[in-house]
């Protein structure tokens, strides 16, 4: 055990400006296009969270979410039947877009429309039901006009008839509550549309709006007095509007900077469901019919943290909340692909680390707690690779090792004492294990560094101080351990001689910032660490011999400890986007920043 004594070292200036964060990927239409069940208790919607767009059902209060379709295509634009027995939707699973329906429990799936020998791209899209459930309305370009028009058919897809012959396209049609008329959007170009209304046989078409830009997605309220729609008339981003049934008195219901689309009235006409990117990704919202009390129904963003390279550099282990919000251990390929869930426990499985030979994974968990606040260190065998398989239409996929399916064997507890033991770090020779032990002091954890044999036996304390010492990382030859501690009230970096427990400061300053979570590079000549010295929590690099510090990121809000690739060329870490952690990789020279996970977008 050791008391830390130190001298102040001069702080080095960053050698270069940090690169800008990597460009964000394309817009992910995560949870969109909600449709109410007839009893007003549930919503069906489409989600791109698993890569392919599929249909999900959820309670209006956000409970009981369940996946309904399991195709390899894109299943979109769901519409609940008036009797509640069917969900109508369009899909490109068989090539061109066609109409399908499925029971809300995922059974009975069947195809309704069938193109001929030369099918067009959008043979049938954007379906809607008549109030009596006997007819459906949809968009189609089946007649070769070069754009879509509105069609009507029997509920089984038979006897389709074209209702509009527009100049530049018509679609997004829906019946009025009495079934006598249809509201739809039409215009000379896709981004220049207005809301129209016509009789259900296509006669007496009349334009209701004439604003610049696009008005579309119109739905009449259940009492027939109002029409809600989305429009870009007030500034370029679509927002939700409502107007009188004759087109008068239009008013903006959402009035914000977010993008809002595709709405549906609740059966009682008191609420409107829609989708919005207000949280930074598209989620389903419900608001009162006057625009008040807007609340999210879905919240699909999740966290990914504590990434660590496998010894061969081919895989990454990390923690994630992608399966229901609880932290579990996952692996993925080095490029972020093929995530596999390894643990399934009610506790917070966290801070995973590979054994040096890559055959086991160490992690911390409260799963077998025997005392309040107890967290223990576990070891599990790395399961063999097994590809995911696709289930049949309407059934859950029979996955083995896919995200969401736990494939772990037995996790063996190595260290468990009633305290909070965590952040395991095996030595390079695989013979020892450094870790942190925390105990509550005045409702706050106090941390010390500990050392044990690789099997968890013979634990002994390395530090015992009035301040906390945290996040150990082994140096070259397993002779030293670097860590951070806060003897002056701010975390700073230190290194310890393991044989003598003598401690030497690495970078100490009286500035109002922190240096923490160090990680030695493979050859021991460099240490990556996190610092707030320039205002934000970013990743830095320390050259041990010279004391030279370089800034690697700018404004990414980095929190977790970092992991070096075996060749020392790349660094893994996690950083927060709007309070959600995602995994990033960057070259050791500060270039090539890439985000590997899409928890902020909610994509699994």
Task: Look up the CATH number of the domain holding residue 542.
Answer: 2.120.10.30
Residues 413 and 283 in one domain: no
Query: How many residues in the chain?
Result: 604
Residues 51 and 109 in one domain: yes
CB atoms within 10 A of CB 570: 18
Closest CA to 478 of 427, 425, 426, 545: 427
Q: Is the pLDDT of residue 159 over 90?
A: yes
Mean pLDDT, residues 96-103 taken together: 96
Residues 8 and 73 in one domain: no
Residues 355 and 472 in one domain: no
Q: CA angle, 324 as apex, 321 and 326 as ends, to 5°?
A: 50
- Residue whose structure tokens are 């995602």: 582
Mean pLDDT, residues 4-32 taken together: 46
Domain annotation covers residue 395: no
Domain annotation covers residue 474: yes
Q: Which domain holds residue 11?
A: 1-23+464-596
- Domain-terminating residue out of 412, 445, 461: 461
Domain annotation covers residue 393: no
- Residue whose structure tokens are 């504590």: 306
User: For residue 26, what pLDDT is reported?
Assistant: 56
Six token digits for residue 92: 């490109």
Gap between the Cα atoms of 23 and 217, Å rounded: 31
pLDDT interval class at 19 (50, 70, 90): very low
- Domain-terminating residue out of 461, 479, 495: 461
Domain annotation covers residue 602: no
pLDDT interval class at 452 (50, 70, 90): very high
Q: Tell me: the pLDDT tens digits for 33-56?
A: 999 999 999 999 999 888 789 999
SS3 for 305-372 is EEEEECCCCCEEEEEECCCCCCCEEEEEECCCCCCEECCCCCCCCEEEEECCCCCEEEEEECCCCCCC
Domain annotation covers residue 391: no
Share of the chain above pLDDT 90, in %: 76
Q: Report the number of distinct structural domains present in the chain.
A: 3
Residues 203 and 320 in one domain: no
User: For residue 552, what pLDDT is reported?
Assistant: 97
Q: Are 145 and 127 in contact (CB under 8 A)?
A: no
Domain annotation covers residue 161: yes
Gap between the Cα atoms of 304 and 327, Å rounded: 9
- Domain-terminating residue out of 296, 318, 337: 296
User: For residue 24, what pLDDT is reported?
Assistant: 47
Q: Tell me: the pLDDT tens digits for 272-303?
A: 999 999 988 899 999 999 999 999 999 889 99
Gap between the Cα atoms of 103 and 394, Å rounded: 9
Residues 435 and 477 in one domain: no
Instruction: Name the strand (E) or helix (H) holding 123.
Output: none
CB atoms within 10 A of CB 27: 12
Gap between the Cα atoms of 353 and 426, Å rounded: 8
Residues 348 and 370 in one domain: yes
Q: Are 595 and 581 in contact (CB under 8 A)?
A: no
Mean pLDDT (the chain) is 89
Domain annotation covers residue 158: yes
Q: Is the pLDDT of residue 385 over 80?
A: no
Residues 203 and 338 in one domain: no
Residues 576 and 537 in one domain: yes
Q: Is the pLDDT of residue 386 over 90?
A: no
Residues 160 and 277 in one domain: yes
Mean pLDDT, residues 427-434 taken together: 97
Residues 574 and 550 in one domain: yes
pLDDT interval class at 515 (50, 70, 90): very high
CB atoms within 10 A of CB 480: 20
Instruction: Name the strand (E) or helix (H) holding 167.
Output: none
Domain annotation covers residue 604: no
Q: How far is CA 510 from CA 13, 76, 185, 242, 506, in A?
A: 15, 58, 65, 59, 14
Q: How far is CA 274 from CA 34, 35, 49, 238, 245, in A?
A: 6, 9, 18, 12, 20
pTM tops 0.85: no
Q: Tell me: the pLDDT tens digits for 219-252?
A: 999 999 999 999 999 877 999 999 999 999 999 9
Residues 456 and 543 in one domain: no
């Amino acid at each position: 055990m050791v008391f830390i004594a130190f001298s102040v070292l001069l702080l080095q200036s960053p050698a270069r400006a940090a690169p800008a964060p990597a460009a964000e990927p394309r817009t992910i239409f995560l949870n969109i296009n909600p449709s109410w069940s007839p009893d007003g208790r549930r919503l069906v919607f489409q989600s791109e969270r698993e890569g392919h767009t599929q249909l999900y059902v959820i309670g209006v209060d956000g409970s009981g979410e369940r996946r309904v379709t399991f195709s390899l295509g894109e299943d979109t634009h769901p519409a609940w039947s008036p009797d509640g027995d069917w969900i109508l939707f369009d899909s490109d699973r068989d090539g061109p877009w066609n109409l399908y329906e499925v029971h809300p429990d995922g059974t009975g799936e069947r195809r309704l429309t069938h193109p001929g020998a030369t099918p067009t791209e959008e043979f049938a899209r954007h379906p809607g039901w008549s109030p009596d459930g006997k007819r459906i309305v949809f968009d189609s370009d089946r007649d070769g006009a070069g754009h879509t028009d509105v069609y009507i058919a029997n509920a089984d897809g038979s006897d389709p008839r074209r209702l509009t012959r527009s100049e530049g396209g018509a679609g997004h049609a829906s019946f009025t509550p009495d079934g006598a008329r249809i509201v739809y959007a039409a215009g000379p170009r896709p981004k220049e549309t207005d809301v129209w209304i016509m009789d259900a046989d296509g006669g007496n078409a009349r334009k209701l709006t004439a604003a610049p830009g696009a008005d579309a997605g119109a739905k009449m309220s259940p009492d027939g007095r109002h029409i809600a729609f989305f429009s870009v008339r007030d500034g370029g981003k679509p927002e939700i509007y409502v107007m009188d049934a004759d087109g008068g008195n239009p008013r903006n219901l959402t009035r914000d900077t977010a993008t809002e689309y595709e709405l549906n009235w609740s059966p009682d006409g008191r609420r409107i469901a829609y989708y919005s990117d207000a949280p930074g990704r598209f989620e389903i919202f419900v608001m009162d019919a006057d625009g008040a009390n807007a609340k999210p129904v879905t919240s699909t963003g999740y966290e990914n943290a504590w990434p660590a390279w496998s010894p061969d550099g081919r895989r990454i282990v990390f923690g994630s909340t992608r399966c229901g919000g609880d932290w579990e251990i996952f692996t993925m390929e080095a490029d972020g692909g093929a995530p596999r869930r390894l643990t399934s426990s009610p506790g917070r499985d966290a801070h995973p680390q590979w054994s040096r030979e890559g055959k086991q994974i160490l992690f911390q968990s409260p799963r077998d707690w025997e005392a309040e606040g107890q967290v223990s260190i576990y070891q599990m065998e790395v399961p063999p690779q097994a590809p995911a398989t696709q289930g049949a239409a309407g059934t859950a996929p029979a996955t083995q090792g896919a995200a969401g399916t736990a494939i772990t064997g037995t996790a063996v507890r190595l260290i468990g004492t009633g305290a909070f033991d965590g952040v395991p770090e095996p030595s390079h020779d695989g013979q020892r294990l450094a870790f942190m032990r925390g105990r509550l002091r005045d409702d706050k954890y106090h941390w010390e560094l500990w050392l044990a044999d690789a099997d968890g036996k013979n634990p002994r304390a390395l530090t015992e101080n009035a301040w906390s010492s945290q996040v150990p990382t082994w140096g070259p030859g397993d002779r030293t351990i670097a860590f951070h501690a806060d003897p002056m009230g701010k975390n700073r970096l230190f290194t310890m001689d393991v044989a003598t427990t003598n401690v030497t400061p690495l970078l100490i300053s009286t500035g109002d910032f922190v240096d923490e979570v160090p990680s030695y590079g493979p050859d021991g000549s460099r240490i990556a660490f996190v610092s707030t010295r320039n205002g934000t929590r970013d990743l830095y690099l320390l050259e041990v011999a010279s004391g030279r510090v370089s800034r690697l990121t700018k404004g990414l809000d980095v929190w977790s400890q970092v992991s070096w690739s075996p060749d020392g060329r790349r660094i893994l870490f996690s950083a927060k986007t709007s309070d959600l952690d995602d995994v990033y990789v960057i070259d050791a020279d500060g270039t090539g920043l890439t985000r590997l996970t899409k928890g902020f977008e909610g994509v699994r």
